[in-house]
Amino acid sequence: MKWFLIFWAGPIVFLAGWYWLSYYDMSFGIFMLTRQAHDLTFQVYANILGIPAETIPPLVARAIVVDSLVVFAILLFRRRGKIIAWWRARQASRSSGAVLPSKDSLSRAP
């Protein structure tokens, strides 16, 4: 599962880093981080897709959100047994009258 998350987050971090650095033209002497390369990249994608270049970043952001929701749904599905056990224990403690410690009572020193 750890590798699944690494292979999911890695490309997202790489893409976001490139987008941010090239958008603000923080090139550090590397052509791919210049604003010129940024505009050229989106222009090439726009020509391939036949849509305006300024519509591509919001589409990519929406795709990342949807993919992230799918990843978290998979994680929740894999851990559903632990989540159900936690929920049942919580409901059982509420129905038995057991008082769960509050945030304030945990922070006070005796």
- Enumerate residues 6+ apart whose C-beta is below 8 A from 33: 18, 21, 22, 25, 26, 27
Query: For residue 104, what pLDDT is reported?
Result: 57
What is the phi/psi pair of residue 81, to 5°?
-65, -45
Query: For residue 95, what pLDDT is reported?
Result: 77
Query: For residue 5, what pLDDT is reported?
Result: 81
Query: For residue 83, what pLDDT is reported?
Result: 82
Query: For residue 96, what pLDDT is reported?
Result: 72
Q: Mean pLDDT by 10-residue block, N- to C-terminus, for the chain (110 residues)?
A: 85 93 88 91 94 94 94 87 85 72 53
Nearest to 33 by CA among 14, 50, 6, 57: 14
